[in-house]
Structure 1
Amino acid sequence: MKGIYHIKSISELHGMLGCDPPKHPSVSLIRFSDMKFPVGEAEFSGATVDFYVISMKDSSGQMKYGKGYYDFEEGTMLFAAPNQIMFHSHLSDEILDTDGWSLFIHPDILYGTALAEKMNDYTFFSYETDEALHLSKQERTKINTCVDNIKEEYGQNIDRHSNDLIVSNLDLLLSYCKRFYDRQFITRHKQSKGVVLKLEKLLLDYFKSEHALEKGLPTVKYCAEQLHFSPNYLSDLLKKETGKNTKEHIDYYLLEKAKQMLMATELNVNQIAYELGFENPKSFSKLFKKKTGATPTEFRQN
C-alpha cells in the first residue's frame, strides 16, 4: 500500500503501529517507544485517523503533526481533531528514541455525554504545531495523573461505569489543558501585545488601501495567515489579551472606517458598502445597525 492511510478504528490503529490489540474499542494510550512502523518510507507517507489525538512529549526531539515538523521541548503537548495527518515514515526512528505518549479517543465514546457538547469549545484541537502547549513540571504531573486514570480504567474489566469514568477523567484532562493554555497566553503577554499591534496595523492598512474594494472584507483566515497563526489560536490569543476575538477586531475597524466615510464623504450607503468590501449593501446596513444601534443613514443624519 502507498500514500496516506485512513484509519477508522482504534483496533486498526494498533495493527498499523504493531501494538497488541486494544483493551477498549474507543480509547487507547500508546507510548512512543511501543510504536512500530512496519512499512517502508516509499510505501508510507502518512495516516489520518477518525479520532481525537492528544500527545505529550517528555524530552527533546521532533515529530510530524499536520503541515510540518515540530521541535518538542520537555513537557510539550499537541492536539489534533479527526482527519488530520498524524504520522510520517521519516519519524519512526525518532519516535522510538524519545519518551512520550499519545492518547487516542474515538468520538463514539463521547456520544450522549456532556463532553460531546463541549468538544468544539476546545479550540486547541485545531491549533498549528508551533502553537503547542508547554507545561511546567507540576502541570505535567496533573496531566499524567488524568491519563493514568484513563488507562487504569479501560485496562480493567469493562462494566457499566467504565465509559462514564473514562469520559469524566478526559473532561478533567481537557479542562486542565484549557487552563494551562490560558496561563500560557498570560505569561506571553509581551508577545501577545505585539500580535495585537500587528493586527491593528494590518487592519488599518487594509481599509486604507484598495484591498477591500478588490478582495472584499478581510476574513479571520486572512488575518491569521498574515500573522502566521492558525485562526483559532489567533482568536483565542486576542480574546485573552483584549476581550475581543479576531472577528470582533475586524468589525471594529470596519465600522470605524464606515463612520469616517459616512461623515467625511458624499458617497451613498451602497457605494460605501461596496468600497468596504461588502457584496450586498443590506449586509453592511444590518451589521452597522447591530453594532451601533443606528442605520448608516440615521448615523449620517445625526
Structure 2
Amino acid sequence: MINTGNNNEFQNAFSASFSYYFDNFGNEEQFFDSAKRWIDDKYFLIVFGCSNKDHRGQHILLFFSNQYFPVQEIRGYFKEGAYFAFRSDLFTGYSLRNKLKEFGFLEYSIQESMILSNNDYRLIKNIFELIDLETKMPMSETQSKILISYLDLLLQHMQRFYQQLMEDKLNEFRALQKDFMSELHTLFDSKRKCLFLLPSLTLLSRKLNCTTRFLNDVSLKTSKNTAQYHIDNFIVKIAKELLAETDLSVAEIAKKMQFDQPQSLTRLFKKKTRISPLDYRISII
C-alpha cells in the first residue's frame, strides 16, 4: 500500500485546525485507533484497503461517517490500507450533502460494498497516491482545488464501479426486488382489509437486511422506479379499494392503514392522484 508516517501527536494537532488528513495503517488496531478519533470529530473517511485472510485478501473501498461506522461489523475485516479523512467543510463551495445525494453508494453498508478487480485496484491505488502526495504540499487555494478534483475523480470512479456491479449482478438484484414486493404485500391483511403495519422504506430494508439507499437503487435499476415509489403506490391502491368498497370515513380508513393522522393519508393520496380521498370516492360513484 501507500507509505506514509503515522504521527499521533501531529494528527491530534491537525484535527483542531485542518479539514483533511491522509494516513495508512498496517493492522486493524492501528486503523481503529485513528479512525474513531476522526469519526468522533465528525470527519468522513474513504478507506482503501486489503481485507483479511478470511476474505481472501481482496481489495475494498469503503465510506464511513459518524452516521455509519459499524465497529463490530468492521472488526476482523481489514488487514492493511490507507484512508483519506475530511470534514464536510473540506473546501469552500464543496457540498458533501449534494455528493451524498448524487452518489448513493456512499450510504451503502459494508455488506453492500464491492470487491475491486485488479484493474480497479490499480486505478484507485494511483488516485490515493496522488491524494497522499498533495496533502503533503503547502496549503493553498491551488491545493484545495487539486484535492477536490482528486476526491471527485475518486467518487466518479466508485460510481462507475457500482454501475458495473449492478449490471453484473442484475439477476441477483431482480431477485431482491421480487422479495421486496413480496414483503410489501405480506403487510396487508386481505381478510380484514387492513394493514398489519404501515409500510416504510426503513421497515422493508430491515426485513431484507439491506440499507434503504441500496434497496432504492436496486429497485430503480430493476423496475425504473424507486422502492419508495412502489411503497406509496401500494398504500394508495389499498386506500382506493377501501374508498370504493366500504362506507368508512377517511379517518377510519387511515386508522385501518396504521396512519397516526388522517392528514398523512390525505397528503400522500393527493400527491399520487392529485385529488383528495373524498373527491376520489365521489368520482367513482
Mark yes or no: TM-score above 0.5: yes
2:174 paired with 1:193: yes
Shift of residue 195 of structure 1? 1.1
Distance 1:82 1:157, change over 3 A: same
Partner of 1:248: 229
Distance 1:126 1:116, change over 3 A: closer
Shift of residue 111 of structure 1? 4.1
Amino acid at match of 2:170: H
2:9 paired with 1:28: no
1:203-235 deviation per Cα after TM superposition (whole angstroms, max 9, x unaligned):
1110236796564x2221111110001122212
2:259 paired with 1:278: yes
Q: Is this contact kept in 2: 1:224–1:234, CA < 8 A? A: yes
Q: Counterparts in 2 of 1:195-210, with a 5 A limit? A: 195-208=176-189
Partner of 1:56: 48
- Percent sequence identity over aligned pairs: 22
Q: Counterparts in 2 of 1:136-215, with a 5 A limit? A: 136-208=117-189, 215=197
Name the CA distance, whole Å, in 2 between partners of 1:112 and 1:284. 39
Q: Is this contact kept in 1: 2:188–2:196, CA < 8 A? A: no
Partner secondary structure for residue 134 of structure 1: coil
CA RMSD, Structure 1 to Structure 2 (Å): 3.5
Amino acid at match of 1:57: G
Shift of residue 114 of structure 1? 5.0
Shift of residue 172 of structure 1? 1.3
Name the CA distance, whole Å, in 1 between partners of 2:12 and 2:244. 71
Amino acid at match of 1:100: G
TM-score, length-scaled by structure 2: 0.80
* Structure 2: runs of 5+ lacking an equivalent: 1-5
Partner secondary structure for residue 55 of structure 1: strand
Name the CA distance, whole Å, in 2 between partners of 1:81 and 1:211. 42
Greater shift in the superposed pair: 173-182 or 132-141: 132-141
Q: Kindly tell me the number of residue pairs found equivalent between the two proteins.
A: 271
Distance 1:73 1:129, change over 3 A: farther
Distance 1:278 1:87, change over 3 A: closer
Partner of 1:9: none
Q: Is this contact kept in 1: 2:27–2:80, CA < 8 A? A: no
Greater shift in the superposed pair: 249-258 or 260-269: 260-269
Name the CA distance, whole Å, in 2 between partners of 1:211 and 1:58. 52
Partner secondary structure for residue 267 of structure 1: coil
Q: Is this contact kept in 2: 1:56–1:75, CA < 8 A? A: yes
Distance 1:175 1:39, change over 3 A: closer
Distance 1:85 1:171, change over 3 A: same
Distance 1:83 1:287, change over 3 A: closer
Name the CA distance, whole Å, in 2 between partners of 1:61 and 1:110. 38
Shift of residue 264 of structure 1? 2.3
* Structure 1: runs of 5+ lacking an equivalent: 1-12, 41-45, 63-70
